[in-house]
């Protein structure tokens, strides 16, 4: 320990493992949207599980994982950014005010992407948590009879059978698809800003943020709050 420098534990394993799992799941979901629906949906469920767990952890988790420790007023966020751009960055052990705001924005947009994805999945495939139970589908018994006569190579009919005669509501499909795409792209834009923020902090602030997200530890001195 020299110049008042010491190493502290900042990010607990749930935050770290959760973050890198989220990174993989988010990009997998983004890149599989077109041709690999099963993989897309599974990656989306992993993102959804992460968001749910992180929301709970923000209340009951370790010190720096709690929302209380990194949600600041807009005045504090702008004050922090002004100082950063002036080359006088304030140092924080946990998320700085700008980073904390970004974390909240990311979690909100990820939740929006996940919920609209599940609604779209229900409308298109009658599957997922918002699917209408098969027994309640008015076309159920009719469609089974209809499908008994379906030809094996008729993809549409087989598809219909798996969905118990589910008919796609085109208007609802367009609506949820639009919102799902908007949320996904908004999240992607925030991710770029998030990565840019991490790079800027690492350069101007000389902070080893990525290393800390891997090891959980940060080297701090008396200027940190
Ligand atoms: C390779 C790309 C990425 C890098 C290098 C990276 C790096 C980081 C770092 C260093 C932190 C800690 C920031 C701090 O100390 O204040 C962080 C936090 C965070 N990042 Fe990323 N990130 C990446 C991609 C993503 C993506 C794709 C998402 C979301 C889709 C994301 C969401 C988050 C969230 C939610 C936190 C807060 C973690 C927590 O408090 O539990 N990151 N990231
Ligand atoms: C949270 C991460 C997710 C991301 C980043 C994401 C991203 C996307 C994107 C960009 C599209 C293409 C939209 C378009 O071009 O109209 C899409 C389509 C779709 N997503 Fe997601 N999504 C996510 C989660 C989910 C979840 C959790 C589900 C369902 C459980 C889901 C179900 C769907 C469906 C059914 C489609 C339409 C596929 C098609 O008709 O080709 N997504 N998603």
Whole-angstrom Cα distance, residue 200 to residue 87? 11
Measured from the CB, is residue 188 less than 6 Å from ligand 1? no
Q: Give the residue, by CA position, lying nearest to ligand 2 atom 39.
A: 34
Ligand 1 pocket member 191 (CB < 6 A):
yes
Q: Is 113 in the pocket of ligand 2 (CB under 6 A)?
A: yes
Q: What is the pLDDT of residues 46-70, one digit of tens each?
A: 999 999 999 999 999 999 999 999 9
Q: State yes or no: pLDDT of 152 exceeds 70.
A: no
pLDDT of residue 145: 39
Q: Does the Cβ of 47 fall within 6 Å of ligand 2?
A: yes
pLDDT (average), residues 148-169: 55
Confidence of residue 223 (pLDDT cuts 50, 70, 90): confident
**Using a 6 Å cutoff on CB, does residue 41 contact ligand 2?**
yes
How large is the angle between the packed helices 170-204 and 97-125, nearest 10 degrees? 160
Q: Domains in the chain, please, with CATH? A: 6-126+170-220 (1.20.950.20), 129-165 (no CATH)
Residue of 23, 26, 34, 44 best suited for mutating to test ligand 2, as the one with most atoms within 8 Å of CB: 44
Bridge partners (DSSP) of residue 218 are 8
Please provide the average confidence, as pLDDT, over all residues in the chain.
87
Mean pLDDT of 80-90: 88
Structure tokens at 154: 């008729």
Q: What is the mean pLDDT of residues 116-144?
A: 76
Tell me the CA–centroid distance for residue 180 and ligand 2, in Å: 6
Residue nearest ligand 1's atom 24 by CA: 23
Tell me the per-residue pLDDT of 102-117, one tens digit each, with 9 for 90 and over. Answer: 999 999 999 999 999 9
Scanning the chain, the segments in alpha helix (DSSP H) are 13-32, 37-60, 67-70, 74-85, 97-125, 140-148, 155-162, 170-204, 209-215
pLDDT digits (tens, 9 = 90+) for 18-46: 999 999 999 999 999 888 999 999 999 99
State the pLDDT at residue 162.
Answer: 54
Give the up-direction half-sphere exposure of residue 150: CA atoms within 13 A in the CB hemisphere. 19
> For ligand 1, atom 2, which residue shows the shortest CA distance?
195
Tokens of 84: 């950063």
DSSP string, 37-69: HHHHHHHHHHHHHHHHHHHHHHHHS-GGGSHHH
What are the b/e assignments for 32-59, b being 16+ CB within 10 Å? bbeeeeeebbebbbbbbebbeebeebbe
**Measured distance CA(173)–CA(119) in Å, rounded:** 9
pLDDT-above-70 percentage for the chain? 84
What's residue 167's pLDDT?
83
- Do residues 21 and 50 make contact, with C-beta atoms less than 8 angstroms apart? yes
Which burial class, exposed, middle or buried, applies to 116 when counting CB atoms under 10 A from its CB (0-12, 13-18, 19+)?
buried
């Amino acid at each position: 320990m020299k110049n008042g420098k010491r190493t502290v534990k900042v990010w607990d394993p749930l935050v770290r493992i959760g973050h890198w799992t989220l990174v993989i799941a988010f990009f997998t979901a983004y890149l599989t949207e077109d041709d690999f629906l099963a993989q897309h949906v599974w990656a989306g469920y992993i993102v959804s599980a992460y968001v749910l767990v992180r929301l709970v952890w923000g209340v009951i988790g370790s010190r720096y994982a709690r929302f209380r420790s990194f949600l600041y007023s807009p005045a504090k966020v702008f004050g922090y950014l002004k100082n950063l751009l002036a080359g006088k960055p304030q140092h924080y052990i946990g998320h700085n005010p700008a980073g904390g705001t970004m974390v909240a924005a990311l979690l909100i947009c990820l939740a929006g992407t996940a919920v609209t994805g599940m609604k779209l999945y229900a409308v298109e495939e009658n599957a997922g948590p918002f699917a209408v139970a098969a027994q309640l589908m008015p076309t159920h018994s009719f469609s089974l009879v209809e499908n008994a006569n379906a030809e094996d190579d008729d993809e549409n009919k087989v598809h219909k059978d798996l969905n118990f005669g589910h008919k796609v509501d085109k208007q609802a499909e367009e609506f949820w698809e639009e919102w799902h795409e908007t949320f996904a792209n908004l999240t992607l834009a925030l991710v770029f800003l998030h990565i840019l923020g991490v790079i800027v902090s690492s350069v101007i602030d000389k902070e080893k943020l990525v290393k800390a997200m891997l090891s959980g530890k940060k080297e701090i001195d008396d200027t940190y709050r």
